[in-house]
Amino acid sequence: MIWISGLTMFVADLIALLLVGMWLGLSARNPKRAFSGTIMRVLVLPWIAFGAFLMFIAVSPSYHPERHERGRDSWRVVFCWVSAADLVSDCTPATNC
């Protein structure tokens, strides 16, 4: 399950890098800003959102890891991973979020 999600997100990240890179390449003042903006929007921000959400879950008082099964938690982690990437991709300046 996690491998399939990882491969799917890899392909989605490649497509997003292509499209956001072209968009920023045309609208940025110089190539360095286009590159750094693309990497931040497509790769860094989803991981920050995903890590913040997992940290929030880990410190919440209602989370007890001994009550959860390993297989059930992997679905939640994958869902959060894909949701974080989708949320960040929906909030780019091109979509006027």
Determine the straight-line distance between the first and last CA of the chain, rounded to whole angstroms.
31
- Can you tell me the distance from the alpha carbon of 91 to that of 97, in angstroms, rounded to the nearest whole number? 5
Complete DSSP assignment for 38-92: HHIIIIIHHHHHHHHHHHHHHHSTT--GGGS-HHHHHHHHHHHHHHHHHHHHHTS
Complete DSSP assignment for 31-42: HHHHHHHHHIII
Whole-prediction pTM:
0.63
For the segment 2-28, what is each residue's pLDDT rounded down to a tens digit? 778 778 888 888 888 898 899 999 998
Say yes or no to pLDDT of 73 above 80. Answer: no
